Amino acid sequence: MFRKITILVFFILLYTLVQAQTKPQNTTIGNIQGIVYELTEEDKEAFIVDATVRLLNPSDSMVVATTSSNKQGHFLFSSVKPSNYILSVAYLGYTTIFKKISEDQFKEKQVDLGKIQIDISSLELPEVSVTGKVPDIVVKEDTVEYNASAYKLGQNAVAEDLLKRLLGAEVDVNGTIKIAGKEVKQVLVDGKEFFGKDVTMATKNIQTNIIDKVQVIDKKTDTAIKTGVDEGEKETIINLAIKPGMNKGWIGNAGVGAGALIDNPTNEPARYSGNLMLSRFVDGDNISLTFNSNNVNNSFFSDGGSFSSGGGFGGVMMLMGPSSSGRGGISTSSSAGLNISKSQKDKFKVGGSVSYGYTDQDSKNKSFRQNILIDSVSYREAISSNKSYSNRLSINGYVDYQLDTLNSISIQTTLTYRDANSHNKSYQSTLAGDADSTRVNQSESSTINQTGSWNLSATATYSRKFTKKGRQFSVVAGTNINNSNNDGTNRSLSEFFLQPERNLYLDQEIENNTSSNSFNFRISHVEPVWTEKNTIQMFYSIDNNQTTNIKETYDYDPATETYSILNPNYSKSLDNNFINQRAGIAFNSNQSKYSYNIGFNIIPSYTKSKTFIKNGNSEGNDSILNNIDGRDVMNYSPQSRFTYRFNKTTSMSFNYTGNTRQPSVEQLDPTVNNTNPLSIRSGNPYLLPSFTNSFRLNFNNYKQEQQQYLNASLNFSFTQNEIIYFTDYEGSTGIQYSKPINENGSWNSSANIMYGRPLDKKKRLKINNNVNFNYSNRIGYMMVNQHSERNVSGTMNIGEYLSLSFNKDKFYGQISGNINYSKTSNSLENQKGRESTNFGLSYNNTISLPKDWSFSTDISYRGNRGLSAGYNTDEVMWNMEISKQFLKKKQASIRLKWNDILQETASITRNVSASYIEDIEYNALSSYFLVSFSYRINQMGGGKKTTTLIRQQ
């Protein structure tokens, strides 16, 4: 408590000191606003979007401020010092307008220039179109902008297909997008939210024929934008900018397809796919309806990992993921959603969405693990199958309200409900490390789980600006409520061949209920010092999370034929209270050639846990196992960020951040997890939060005329109190026991260079190259002479990706190759290193044929070397599609898609940790064909004449 009071007093005193040092300011500040428009041929007023509006000094014509008009033609200069000015309004192809503004007009503090009409320049002939080569990529300070027209795609292509061709972009089989290795957290449509944070709803539904640009933005967090306090954390988002003239009217597409597996010995059902998307745009407002259903492994919604088909192997490094032919498992999914966004002259914005998703997942996998040991326990074989069903309903809403020119408030809420059912069957066996691979144990289990959960989160932000430019005060408050109820059964038989008396049969029912309530509060202030380009940022925040996990396990009672015997060994419950505070101060300077930020944060945290058995003594009388006194941890985090701009397209930046992470409920819960009797896990209520220090050096250069792009980065991070798993083995039975502990000594370093440029004068042939290097130092424990000893494993990864693409008229083709080499070494003696290599070669093309036919194909080869016996496979994947457009406006099409023509689908993953290496093979969707029909609706523009200019770059 003393630390909490000290930090709060420190923040208040610092805030008071800065306010006392601030000189009184002239409060006679005004605003200048107006609306830019043109008259159409029908004598109707049409707003001009993105007109350049400048405020000039009348004595020397120097620019005082610059802004642009929004979608309603409105522009605003806020906090303007009263004086004489000249206002200029310019737009390409239109006559520039000048207006005088006198100091007397500021008497009312609001200079309203009303409507300003601009006309097409008389120097332009009506029928002349201005054309020019539009560059594929335009690089700005925090934005990389790709022109969609530079990429030839099929008529039915969606945003995800376009993203797969962008330089530095990766889209995995689950729809997760990474740009230069950073995961994309949100996809906007024309700057507006589209189904909240759900990435795939936009990428799998928005068709490329309406996309003008794909803007990849490293933006500040929402908190930093609304509060003005920039702690250096940025998130990568994508904005799909709609083509000019297509922001008013209806647009949509509908399609249906049917097909079958090529080889179907088990009589699998027919393949099908259906989709519908309908959107209405009105001056930036939007309403969209989507529906999708298929059984060809296409998921049209995100679920935060809930529907992941992977094997759940956490804390490991994936060296080769599932092939692009299909993720692990075969899924049937359906989704429906409604998204609405509305704004009123940038003063009031409201929006929200409702979405529903269903999935039916059938997953099978087999694995082979090499435990890094010296004694007898060294290998593990496993086979499992899982059948799961999930339903999810999500409701999102937001309100942004500009109370006046200085005050604003925003509210965001999300409500999610999910229920799921799963049935898992597994077989596992442990083999000794002798020459005969003697079988030590084996286990068979069957588990059934029914889960219902809901989550409610809400955040409210109040922000106030002041007449002194740059000064800002804000308050943020939020809450998050989670509740999950899980009922299940566990039936398993474990046999121990060296000690048969230890054989174990379990027949249990399990009730597991978790509730989590968190609250966060943040107050911040930004104060300009000396000039408006320099600011001091101060903030204080507190987060409180209280979690209760109640677990009751009942054994079967043959006498009553019910599950009524409470088993205390598997019924340990947990209460946990976690408080995290942050108080910080930073100095920020933003100059024309450089900017920097230097600050310091104090991060105290408090954890208190209690372990008990509900009704352990008697009904209504719990038994307390552990009641740990509260523990305080203090972290100190300096922060620094520096960016130097050599010119508009070349910059170098350095960034340091420090972040704390609290243990999860499962990691704190000492309850024994006996789902797998051969690999028993338990939590550790004494865990401390981990703290990661991250450093990044980045160089970015883009030569627009040559369309040459270079990005190089160096990264280094190390973690204090890292949470790893301590593993112990029982030699006579082969049972593996593991629990999380805190360790120091883990670090990771990486380097990446991306380079791309055209190879010919017409910029049709382009080369893209991506080289990456990674070395990680990991801490783990392994058995040496019947005791677990600390091992440090160093893993090196080197990767190279090279591609050549050619684009001319109706042809687009790309050939690419990649190779990845990995080597792992260990600090313990007699522990051999492990090496593996995966490599690939691929080709894809799209051809527009006469009479509205189009043809596309992709073929890829992938190989693995250095994996376990039976996993060093070679795979050749060949997919093909042919389509035909018809009807008057070519709005209808029919296509034939043939997936995996050679029937060589494979899905293999390698996981590496400090104590084991594991190879896993998943089941995947095999070769199939699909015949589909689609129809596009396009009534954009609303009948209004639009002016489209392709600007010379």
Distance CA 16, CA 20 (A): 6
Specify the pLDDT at position 894. Answer: 93
Torsions phi, psi of 20, nearest 5?
-70, -30
Dihedral of alpha carbons 5, 6, 11, 17, sign: positive
| Total residues found in the chain within this entry | 953
The phi-psi region of residue 789 (left if phi > 0; otherwise alpha if psi is between -120 and 50; otherwise beta) is beta
Q: Angle at Cα 544 formed by Cα 542 and Cα 549, nearest 5°?
A: 165
Q: Is the pLDDT of residue 409 over 80?
A: yes
User: What would the 3-class secondary structure string for 915-936 be?
Assistant: CEEEEEEECCCCCEEEEEEEEE
> By the 8 A CB rule, do 168 and 711 touch?
yes
The whole-angstrom separation of Cα 553 and Cα 575 is 18
Residue-wise pLDDT for 357-381, tens only, equals 999 998 888 888 877 655 444 678 8
The residue to which tokens 């079967």 are assigned: 556
CA 120 to chain centre: 44
Query: Is the per-residue pLDDT at 424 higher than 90?
Result: yes
Does pLDDT of 22 surpass 70? Answer: no
DSSP character at residue 532 = E
Please check whether residue 856 is in contact with residue 839, taking contact to mean a CB–CB distance below 8 angstroms.
no
Whether the per-residue pLDDT at 8 is higher than 60: the answer is: no
The per-residue pLDDT for range 170-225, each reduced to its tens digit, is 776 566 787 766 788 888 887 777 776 777 777 877 778 778 888 888 766 666 56
Indicate whether 540 pLDDT > 90: yes
Q: How confident is the model at residue 41 (pLDDT cuts 50, 70, 90)?
A: low
- 690-703/271-282 β-pairing: unpaired
Q: Which of 408-412, 676-680, 875-879 has the least mean pLDDT?
A: 676-680
pLDDT digits (tens, 9 = 90+) for 780-790: 776 555 566 77
Q: Residues 561-598: pLDDT tens digits?
A: 999 999 887 888 889 899 999 999 999 998 888 999 99
Mean predicted lDDT score pLDDT of the chain: 80
DSSP per-residue codes, 674-721: -SSTTEEE---TTPPPEEEEEEEEEEEEEETTTTEEEEEEEEEEEEES
Residue 525 scores a pLDDT above 90: yes
Q: Is the pLDDT of residue 599 over 80?
A: yes
Q: What is the pLDDT of residue 21?
A: 41
